[in-house]
Structure 1
Amino acid sequence: MEDAVSPESQSRLSLRERTSFRGAKGDDEPTPGVAFADRAAAAGIDFRYFNGADPASGTVRMFEISGGGAAVLDYDGDLWPDLYLTQGCRWPPDATQREHLDHLYRNLGGEHFQEVGGLASLEDNAFSQGAAIGDVDGDGFPDIYLGNIGPNRLYLNQGDGTFREVTETSGTAGDDWTASCALADFDGDGLADLYVVNYLAGDVFRRRCEDEGKPVQCAPTVFPAADDRLYRNLGDGAFEEVGQQCGAAAPDGKGLGLVVADFDGSRRLSVFVSNDTTANFFFANQTPARGGPLLFAETALISGLAFDEQGRAQACMGIALDDTNLDGRPDLFVTNFFRESNALYQQQADGSFRDESRAARLRDPSFAMLGWGTQFLDGELDGLPDLLVLNGHINEFSASGTPYRMPPQYFRNAGAGRFAESPAGTLGHYFQGRYLGRALARLDWNRDGLEDACATHVDAPVALLTNQTAPHGHFLAVRLVGVFSARDAVGATVRLRCGARRYTRQLTSGDGFQASNERRLLFGLGAAERIDELLVSWPAGTDQRFSGLPVDREMTIVEGQDLPVTYSPAR
């Protein structure tokens, strides 16, 4: 009878069962235990983004609004997640400048971070935006691709704690305004390919706009779009740009964010791109055979992802992906401009998506916000993914009643596809402030089984939002290592069964607006004290099944190996 449990029943069951480790609550009540503390300064992270502004000019340029990116990687292979934070610079960029550099922070056992950019030969001085993390050469060490305003850069991890720039030989520089990027194996040949989302072109770096004599950000509608690009990894250190010929690029995009995932269970990776004021893109991967010529079709309109529920293109920025209603299918959440409301696209049984923002109670709370970075995370480990959103305007119109700095928001997943905003006063000091929030990346930096987040801002230091929720449920954290699949195993899906409840998580790439999450899947298990079954579906086409697993553990599963490697949590 367990196979007949509906997603709605799973939501109700989890709501009842989680009362065993926390007081019962109704759908509309706030979560009393979810709380975060900004531990950046205490942990040694001292980073503030410089947006290239020139106060003497009295004007504002488009690139001054986007902020810096955040990427999570374990560059030294010690299992502790490290942080890469991108930096701007004075305009125009100077190739010799050393005043504003990207920062690489090494995680020292979940207690402190050390800035090691110089030691790692990784002090990029370009005007950087997002960063993609992936194992380009399959040596087991994560590499870094930097999306810049101007030529991008690719750094290979040497495995000895240092990086080497290989942009020229790889052929991946480009010369656009790159907002976000992702490394993932699109053709199934075991090599990480590269997707690059570009924003605007034309005179975007020179034009300055005014409103009633006051300098303001120019509207993206006055600039042409920059084309997105797909680079295929040739396996010899070089890449080939194939986006146009294989259907993975389309005109008039003005892209800001992306997520790469297996949306339909086909073991093929598709791409969702959030566009600013134009229809979103959904490049469905239709490559007929593993390792064969790439083939994509742009299907956002027929998939229900191009527009909002009223058929309008929105100014889209951040993206989060998870199974919000426990039906086993990935859903998408997209942040939008002020007075547009954010959008929750829930996937239907036929593979299409429907804007369920209103039914999910996410529309009204976001109407007076301008959303940027966003991620799903299970704050209290009850098995239902909650939602974290950063906000902040692009123009200072506060004198006319339009908010400029805005508070972040946390939405508790109340089950049955509905959310409830948690009051800022219950979430911690950070949530009671107002910011120009931008990128948001998910990680568990102290490996205590509670998901944390790294938030970047235009006008404030980076925040390390450390989850301090108590009480909370049990958990399982899973790392995946591909062998027949690409080593990063992007698109691999893990399904858990605990009694009548089922949970689904997937390794993704891109991870929204200028962000790369930790490559680790964390499952909140509520009161469950045993995992009856764990199923891994690998991109290469094989499945692995494990049964009778303990909870409150970290686990590494290597494709094709019979036994996972387990670790006790740090807490």
Structure 2
Amino acid sequence: PRMREAVSMRGSRIGRVGWLVIVGTGLWGMGCRGHSGQQALSLAQEALPVVFTDATQEAGIRFLHNNGANGEKWLPETMGSGCVFFDYNNDGWPDLYLVNGRDWTEEELRRGGTKRRVPPKGRTTGKLFRNRGDGTFEDVTQQAGLDVEMFGMGCAAGDYDNDGDEDLYVTALGRNFLFRNNGDGTFTEVAKAMGVEDGGWSTSCAFLDYDRDGDLDLFVCHYVVWSPEGDIWCTLDGKHKSYCTPEKYTGEVSQLFRNDGHRFTRVTREAGLERTGEGKRAQGKSLGVAILDYNDDGWLDIAVANDTEPNYLFHNNGDGTFAEVGISAGIAYSETGVARGAMGIDAADYCRCGKPSLLIGNFSNQMLALYHNQSLKDMPFFVDKAPTSEVGRKSRLYLAFGVFFFDYDNDGWLDFFVANGHIEDDIHAVQNDVYHEQEPLVFRNLGTHRQGGREETVFRFVGEQLGEAMQRRIVGRGAAYADYDLDGDVDILITTNGGPAYLLRNEGGHRHRKLRLELRGHPLCSAIGAKVKVHLGREVQTYMVRSGSSYCSQSELPLTIGLDRAEKVDLLEVIWPDGRVETFPNLAADQRLRIVEGKGIVSQEGFPPPRGEIR
């Protein structure tokens, strides 16, 4: 069948010389700490009974994604859109914004040589839901000034003007939107005035202070060159049109905008982001971005997930420029030298190694990528652990979009979540082991074990143990987490293509001890890029406040840190984005802390009792 051929071709192969350079480094199979290890291993405790329940209706989340589908199978219709948790009104409770699409206009249909085949859904916009603090949300889209129609894709939140309120950036097909938070519950759209309206087809985005000048810059992923009249005819069965894979389209270059205070300046070319490490134009067909400091040098780097093109790792040179090192770092291709269909991405220190590794969601029949970071300061190097583990075996048939690391049971080891769903609604007709609707995947981190004389961090699939809501088959796209009910464990929001959003409440994860940290920097208010090191005896957990990640989505900025059974943190280190370090010894567990740069802990309180939990 043609679809099998299309899937096998969804990726390009690296040249033999380039691949031998990677293999020839001799670093395959290094353990977590980079040695065969006499050090005592760290194991996760026995799993707590945790269940995720569908709280969507109870919480008042009324949302239906409009993908514009009109029967023509135009490429944008299959991409879905994302979401972001952010506290827009500074009341301490995570609010929620959901990106939406729209119907194709009569002009667009005419340009595409077709007419309206299905009834229009009417005016559809993104939705802002205010967290009432009682487990429910209120739709405040209209009064907030966010009822703007667009063919939306992704979003990110950050305080770009350092006025103390989180602003919202939304990407879309055609142009993007920057909604400045007015501090009174309303937003003003200022993208054109601020120089970030952009154009083309934008997808995921992230705020970061790449030049460490104290304000947030903006990175925007771009996908492919597309228009109604330029949509390409593809087929699965030789008769009927299907959604084309991106190999058929020309890629667009992702963009970097530097914040100059009064407005943003496009600096993609001068920052070195227009070219790959091989000198080619960086038309990556990009769908996901993760901000990280992979070599712990204090400068934020950018990892980009590309669809059928090699993934990028932009190394920050510390002088306003980047060098693309994806191939030499080992994240550009699969272990067999194929550029996969990458969608979502996240970065985190899942092994307590002190450096962030990468999780990337890929097309079906390609499995997830779990790139373990073994870099030195002057040599980036990652090894994909998925092919030789349960991660690869379990994820092979799934088409993964939104991905993120999170500690769902608060045992102090970062687990990860994957939202799945195919792009073709009739894929099962040509591949009987692949489905359009797919259940999410959750892998629990079992800690560090010795395997074959090396230390390895082990993940085990646990989705079937987490309740019926985690086994529902959906056409998943965006995904984000937040502790929306402030009970001490993180909950999940999943978006679907052409369907509802789902809010999954974590019931049970709070039983382990934890800390919730809200950081406020000075001058960088959002504290995006700040690192936190949590010392528990000889063990150190490392976290970063980050924007972006997942697929077209962003999780909340405050950190929920699992402490397992520890009653206190021996030492909490905060490394602020400007490099300043503050330390806080002997912190009792089970607290919510607000820390302001230069002022220390300005508020601390316990967690409210959980509401309506299944015991």
- TM-score past 0.5 threshold: yes
3-state SS of the aligned residue for 2:470? helix
Residue 394 of structure 1 pairs with residue 423 of structure 2? yes
Give the Cα separation in 2 of the matches to 1:453 and 1:561: 32
3-state SS of the aligned residue for 1:532? strand
**1:541 Cα deviation (Å)?**
1.4
Give the Cα separation in 2 of the matches to 1:496 and 1:502: 5
Residue 103 of structure 1 pairs with residue 116 of structure 2? no
Structure 1 residue ranges (4+ consecutive) displaced by more than 6 angstroms after TM superposition: 4-11
Q: Residue 380 of structure 1 corresponds to which residue in structure 2?
A: 409
Scaled by the length of structure 1, the TM-score of the pair is 0.91
Q: Residue 28 of structure 1 corresponds to which residue in structure 2?
A: none
Q: Residue 82 of structure 1 corresponds to which residue in structure 2?
A: 95
3-state SS of the aligned residue for 1:510? coil
**1:154 Cα deviation (Å)?**
0.8
The verdict on how the C-alpha distance between 1:92 and 1:282 changes in structure 2, with shifts beyond 3 A counting, is farther
Structure 1 counterpart of 2:438, one-letter code: M
Structure 2 counterparts to residues 489-528 of structure 1, below 5 A:
489-528=527-566
3-state SS of the aligned residue for 1:41? helix
Greater CA deviation, 554-563 or 80-89?
A: 554-563
8 Å Cα contact 2:486/2:608 also seen in 1: yes
**1:422 Cα deviation (Å)?**
1.1
**1:209 Cα deviation (Å)?**
2.5
The verdict on how the C-alpha distance between 1:462 and 1:436 changes in structure 2, with shifts beyond 3 A counting, is same
Structure 2 counterparts to residues 79-158 of structure 1, below 5 A:
79-92=92-105, 99-158=123-182
Residue 477 of structure 1 pairs with residue 503 of structure 2? no
8 Å Cα contact 1:318/1:513 also seen in 2: yes
The verdict on how the C-alpha distance between 1:239 and 1:315 changes in structure 2, with shifts beyond 3 A counting, is same
Residue 215 of structure 1 pairs with residue 241 of structure 2? yes
Scaled by the length of structure 2, the TM-score of the pair is 0.85
Give the Cα separation in 2 of the matches to 1:473 and 1:10: 26
Q: Mark the runs of 5 or more structure 1 residues left unpaired by the alignment.
A: 19-23, 25-30, 289-293
Match of 2:569 among 531, 535, 555: 531
**1:562 Cα deviation (Å)?**
3.5
8 Å Cα contact 2:222/2:285 also seen in 1: yes
Q: Residue 332 of structure 2 corresponds to which residue in structure 1?
A: 306
Q: Residue 45 of structure 1 corresponds to which residue in structure 2?
A: 61
Structure 2 counterpart of 1:412, one-letter code: R
Residue 270 of structure 1 pairs with residue 310 of structure 2? no
Residue 419 of structure 1 pairs with residue 467 of structure 2? no
Give the Cα separation in 2 of the matches to 1:447 and 1:11: 35
Give the Cα separation in 1 of the matches to 2:217 and 2:509: 41
The verdict on how the C-alpha distance between 1:354 and 1:118 changes in structure 2, with shifts beyond 3 A counting, is same
Structure 1 counterpart of 2:208, one-letter code: A
Match of 2:52 among 18, 36, 61: 36
Q: Residue 249 of structure 1 corresponds to which residue in structure 2?
A: 274
3-state SS of the aligned residue for 2:422? coil
Structure 2 counterparts to residues 158-557 of structure 1, below 5 A:
158-203=182-227, 206-211=231-236, 212-236=238-262, 238-250=263-275, 251-288=282-319, 294-350=320-376, 351-395=380-424, 396-400=426-430, 401=432, 402-416=434-448, 417-424=457-464, 426-469=465-508, 472-484=511-523, 486-557=524-595
8 Å Cα contact 1:135/1:488 also seen in 2: yes
Kindly provide the CA deviation profile for residues 365-416 of structure 1, in whole angstroms up to 9, marking residues without a partner as x.
0111111101111111111111111111111222231321111111111112
**1:188 Cα deviation (Å)?**
1.0
Give the Cα separation in 2 of the matches to 1:561 and 1:359: 47
Kindly provide the CA deviation profile for residues 229-273 of structure 1, in whole angstroms up to 9, marking residues without a partner as x.
11111111x211111111023322000000112222222111111
3-state SS of the aligned residue for 2:350? coil
8 Å Cα contact 1:435/1:459 also seen in 2: no
Give the Cα separation in 2 of the matches to 1:132 and 1:98: 26
Give the Cα separation in 1 of the matches to 2:100 and 2:428: 27
The verdict on how the C-alpha distance between 1:423 and 1:86 changes in structure 2, with shifts beyond 3 A counting, is closer
**1:320 Cα deviation (Å)?**
2.0
Give the Cα separation in 2 of the matches to 1:347 and 1:172: 33
Kindly provide the CA deviation profile for residues 282-329 of structure 1, in whole angstroms up to 9, marking residues without a partner as x.
1111123xxxxx111111111111112222110000112211111111
Kindly provide the CA deviation profile for residues 420-466 of structure 1, in whole angstroms up to 9, marking residues without a partner as x.
11152x21121222111000011110011101111001143111111
Give the Cα separation in 2 of the matches to 1:458 and 1:553: 38
Residue 67 of structure 1 pairs with residue 80 of structure 2? yes
Structure 2 counterpart of 1:89, one-letter code: R
RMSD, matched Cα: 2.1
The aligned length equals 543
8 Å Cα contact 2:401/2:550 also seen in 1: no
- Percent identity, aligned pairs only? 33
Give the Cα separation in 2 of the matches to 1:307 and 1:346: 14
The verdict on how the C-alpha distance between 1:8 and 1:470 changes in structure 2, with shifts beyond 3 A counting, is farther
8 Å Cα contact 1:274/1:280 also seen in 2: yes
8 Å Cα contact 1:11/1:415 also seen in 2: no
Kindly provide the CA deviation profile for residues 30-61 of structure 1, in whole angstroms up to 9, marking residues without a partner as x.
x461210110111000111110001xxx3311
Q: Residue 27 of structure 1 corresponds to which residue in structure 2?
A: none
Q: Residue 29 of structure 2 corresponds to which residue in structure 1?
A: none
3-state SS of the aligned residue for 1:245? coil
**1:94 Cα deviation (Å)?**
8.6
Structure 2 counterpart of 1:384, one-letter code: W
**1:98 Cα deviation (Å)?**
6.5
Q: Mark the runs of 5 or more structure 2 residues left unpaired by the alignment.
A: 1-32, 109-120, 276-281, 449-456, 610-615
Give the Cα separation in 2 of the matches to 1:438 and 1:475: 29
**1:536 Cα deviation (Å)?**
0.6
Give the Cα separation in 2 of the matches to 1:51 and 1:329: 38
The verdict on how the C-alpha distance between 1:43 and 1:202 changes in structure 2, with shifts beyond 3 A counting, is closer
The verdict on how the C-alpha distance between 1:149 and 1:11 changes in structure 2, with shifts beyond 3 A counting, is farther
Structure 1 counterpart of 2:475, one-letter code: L
3-state SS of the aligned residue for 1:511? coil
8 Å Cα contact 1:256/1:317 also seen in 2: yes
The verdict on how the C-alpha distance between 1:50 and 1:337 changes in structure 2, with shifts beyond 3 A counting, is same
3-state SS of the aligned residue for 1:365? helix
8 Å Cα contact 1:10/1:326 also seen in 2: no
Structure 2 counterpart of 1:209, one-letter code: C
The verdict on how the C-alpha distance between 1:360 and 1:469 changes in structure 2, with shifts beyond 3 A counting, is farther
Give the Cα separation in 1 of the matches to 2:498 and 2:168: 26
3-state SS of the aligned residue for 2:274? coil
